[in-house]
Amino acid sequence: MRDFGNKPFWREKPLEAMSSQEWESLCDGCGRCCLNKLEDWDSGEIAWTNVGCQLLDGHACRCRDYENRQATVPDCVALDAAKVRELTWLPPTCAYRLVGEGRDLYWWHHLISGDRETVHEAGISVRDRTVSEVGMELEDYEAYVAAWPGENPMDDAA
């Protein structure tokens, strides 16, 4: 049977054409993008940490003050389509990255599963796996380097 246009918006529209509601709904709520990353200035290599931004709720995997986050955290990156395509540190499971690369969402994404808990159940999110940056010196971040935030556990499932 042929599908006559009943495709979900993320399969039909480029990132640039999405409404703000569609754009925001793409976020899977994993919280990985809210983890601090260390960049080697010589090589440009990114090392992930499990140190969460001061605004990250490490259980809910959401920003505590999303609307005003850039006033509190000036280096917080507000994603847009251009940044999605240029940032090398977006998690490999990130819906913005996947859609920007012309790929589909994973089964655990709430737009597929219908449930915002599946991202946590699938082990994709940062839920209860982080420490806060509050009171931590930048030099101490190296003690919290972690590989898992930059990995795609779905690669192992294939």
Model confidence pLDDT, tens digit, residues 41-50: 899 899 999 9
Q: Which residues contact 72 (CB under 8 A, 6 or more apart)?
A: 54, 55, 65
Distance CA 133, CA 118 (A): 27
Q: Is the pTM of this model over 0.75?
A: yes
- Give the model's pLDDT for residue 1: 43
- Give the model's pLDDT for residue 44: 86
- Give the model's pLDDT for residue 154: 77
Please, are residues 117 and 55 in contact by the beta-carbon 8 Å criterion? Answer: no
**Closest residue by Cα to residue 118 from 56, 28, 33:** 28
Q: Which residues contact 53 (CB under 8 A, 6 or more apart)?
A: 34, 35, 36, 63, 73, 76, 133
Regions of the chain short of the pLDDT cut 50? 1-3
Distance CA 64, CA 73 (A): 12
